[in-house]
């Protein structure tokens, strides 16, 4: 992992987002976001080109992360789904077979392990 690896966080729960952001920055990652909405996530993607993304499956305003997932998958950016909804995990993992997932609440070490596992080379958006 390079110190400049950029991780997009899309998470509508402030406490969860802060926990992820704290863990990632303390371990040398650059955090994009956290974003609470699909629109905010697309703004971050356009501005900063993430290397990986952690996406909450269902956002507070009723949106899902699917539009973001579609875009990132096409750009070959590794996706990690994070949610308390395990059935939704199953549906999304069928649609995005290369994605990884973990269930909230999550241990910071589990988050780092999943990031290390999914990252094999930079995946900049073109």
* Residue 43 burial (10 A CB sphere; 0-12, 13-18, 19+): middle
More confident residue, 95 or 10: 10
pLDDT confidence bin for 126, thresholds 50/70/90: very low
Distance from C-alpha of 33 to C-alpha of 10, rounded to nearest angstrom: 7
| pTM for this model (two decimals) | 0.87
Q: Are strands 6-10 and 30-35 parallel, antiparallel or unpaired?
A: parallel
Q: Is the pLDDT of residue 124 over 70?
A: no
For residue 115, name the pLDDT band (cuts at 50, 70, 90): confident
Q: What is the pLDDT of residues 22-52, one digit of tens each?
A: 999 999 999 999 999 999 999 999 999 999 9
| Angle at the Cα of 84 from the Cα atoms of 99 and 28, rounded to 5 degrees | 55
How confident is the model at residue 59, as a pLDDT? Answer: 86
Q: Is the pLDDT of residue 21 over 90?
A: yes
CATH architecture for residues 6-118: 3-Layer(aba) Sandwich (3.40)
| Average pLDDT, rounded, for the chain | 86
Identify the CA nearest to 37 among candidates 14, 18, 60. Answer: 60
Q: CB-side exposure of 20: number of CA atoms within 13 Å?
A: 32
HSE value, Cβ hemisphere, 13 Å, CA-based, for 2? 9
């Amino acid at each position: 992992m390079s110190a400049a690896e950029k991780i997009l966080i899309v998470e509508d729960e402030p406490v969860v987002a802060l926990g992820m952001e704290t863990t990632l920055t303390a371990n040398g990652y650059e955090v994009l976001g956290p974003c609470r909405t699909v629109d905010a996530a697309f703004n971050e993607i356009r501005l900063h080109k993430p290397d990986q993304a952690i996406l909450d499956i269902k956002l507070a305003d009723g949106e899902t992360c699917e539009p973001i997932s579609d875009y990132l998958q096409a750009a070959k950016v590794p996706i990690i789904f994070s949610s308390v909804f395990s059935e939704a995990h199953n549906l999304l993992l069928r649609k995005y077979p290369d994605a990884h997932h973990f269930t909230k609440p999550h241990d910071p070490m589990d988050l780092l392990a999943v990031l290390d596992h999914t990252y094999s080379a930079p995946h900049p958006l073109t």
